[in-house]
Amino acid sequence: MNVAKLLEKRRIQWSELERLCDAMEMRGRTDKSGFKHHQGAQGIARFSTLYRAACADLALADTYQLPPGTVTYLHRLVARSHNQLYRADKFEPKRWSTIIFETAPQQIFSDPCVRVATIVFFGLFALAMYLGRNDAIFPGFAERMVGDEQLAQLESSYAAPLQGSLDHYVSMSGFYIMHNTGIGLRCFAYGILLIPCLFSLAYNALALGTMFGYMARPDITGGDNFFEFVTAHGPFELTAIALAAAAGLRIGLGLFYTGGLARTESIRVNAMKAVPIMAASALLFTLAAFTEGFISPSPLPYVAKAVWSVLSSGLISFYFVVLGFPRDAGEFASQLPAGDQPDAA
């Protein structure tokens, strides 16, 4: 059989497949492609039959000695149908709960990047707080670090005791979600470049620590109000920033510490490992934002906020240590209390 006749014969099916592709691309369904036998399940069956036929034609193109133009056409037709037949995975809520409550804490517990990021963040935070507090020993540190204007603004905004109405909370909560989670996500994204991530993490630690230290000075007027405000949401938010940076560092580390893989492959593997950590961080950011919007500025007594703070710290510790403790055998986890497990690491 010569090529022209073969093409003439196959072309009918190819154009039918094209019309099915058109219909699928426009509506995601095979209906309304102009043929009666393309309704519903029948249409999908017809589509996959035609797709397989086109695949076979492409596979045999070399044997048939098809002209290159036709082969290009077939490549495109098959690629186009392939994109319609194999569609994107959707998010599955069930799998995400597994990631957040099982995979993420275990990875966080065993990941050295988390330790590095946590030490960098909280270490610098504590250091800056100490430096900012002791104006007598380190004069002018806070002013240079954060700036006079911003310190004055900070002081004035906490001069009055906390009180707000509901609409105030709502807008503040929205702002904090946007701003703080944005910082976290930026830390994460820059992690692949390592240096900007560490810089961003260190800068945020120093700036926050200095502000905390400055407000803790005995001669500052709004100090009590400030600490009343930050107590409730502090644990969530600071941990979330450190975690986001840790997830970013994990990707960036893949560039250098390849573990025997090719470099690009190593980045890919490490990025997949970073996703659960990032998901946990996003969860903490959300919790922090709502705490910050609704509990922190409310006129609740300080005790309530302190209790919430202790509770959230305990929750985070439980999440990291108990859920995250390395467990090799699943049955041991249910029998023994988590703390009593033999050290698997």
Partner 1 sequence: MAPTAALDTTIAVVTPENIAFDYQLAGPFRRLPAYLIDLGVRWGVIVIVVVCLAFAGLIASFSGFGSFVLATGFILYFLISWFYGTVLETYFNGRTIGKWACGIRVIDTDGRPISGKRAMLRNLLRIADLAPLVALSSFTTDAAPIFFPTGMIGLLTMTCTRRMQRLGDLAAGTMVIVDERGWRLPVAKVDDPRVPALASFFPGDYRVSRSMAKTLAIYAERRHYLTPARRREIARHLAIPLIDRFEFRTDIDPDLLMYALYYRVFLADSSDEIADLGPLAGFSPLRRDQNKPQGLAGDLAIPTSPVTHPPVPEPTRRIAGGIPDADPLGKPIPRPQAGSEQLGSGQEAGTQQAVTRAEKQR
Dihedral (C-alpha) 92, 328, 267, 243: value to the nearest 10 degrees?
Answer: 70
Considering beta carbons, is residue 126 or 189 the nearer one to partner 1?
189
Alpha-carbon span 161 to 153, nearest angstrom: 15
Beta strands in the chain (DSSP E): none
List the structure tokens of 205.
């630690």
Q: Which stretch binds partner 1 (CB under 8 A): 101-109, 113-121, 182-190, 321-329?
A: 182-190
HSE-up (13 A, CA, CB side) for residue 203: 11
Candidates 169, 180, 158, 297; CA nearest to 236 is: 180
Alpha-carbon span 308 to 295, nearest angstrom: 9
Is residue 178 within the footprint of partner 1 (CB under 8 A)? yes
Considering beta carbons, is residue 95 or 217 the nearer one to partner 1?
95
DSSP state for residue 192 in the 8-state scheme:
G
Which residues 158-177 are close enough to bind partner 1 by CB under 8 A? Answer: 165-168, 170-175, 177
Among 188, 212, 308, 320, interactor with partner 1 by CB under 8 A: 188
CB of 75 to partner 1, least distance (A): 5
HSE-up (13 A, CA, CB side) for residue 96: 9
Candidates 182, 282, 263; CA nearest to 271 is: 263
Which residues 261-280 are close enough to bind partner 1 by CB under 8 A? Answer: 264, 267-268, 270-272, 275, 278
Considering beta carbons, is residue 172 or 315 the nearer one to partner 1?
172
CB of 227 to partner 1, least distance (A): 25
Which residues 27-86 are close enough to bind partner 1 by CB under 8 A? Answer: 51-52, 55-56, 58-59, 62, 65, 67-70, 73-76, 78-80, 82-83, 86
Site size toward partner 1, by CB under 8 A: 66
Radius of gyration for the chain, computed over Cα atoms and rounded to the nearest angstrom: 29
Alpha-carbon span 111 to 249, nearest angstrom: 11
Considering beta carbons, is residue 283 or 322 the nearer one to partner 1?
283
Among 190, 214, 236, 320, interactor with partner 1 by CB under 8 A: 190
CA end-to-end distance (rounded Å), the chain: 68
Is residue 304 within the footprint of partner 1 (CB under 8 A)? no
Under 8 Å between Cβ of 102 and 109: no
Q: Which residues bind partner 1 (CB under 8 A)?
A: 2-5, 7, 11, 14, 51-52, 55-56, 58-59, 62, 65, 67-70, 73-76, 78-80, 82-83, 86-91, 165-168, 170-175, 177-178, 181-182, 185-186, 188-193, 196, 251, 264, 267-268, 270-272, 275, 278
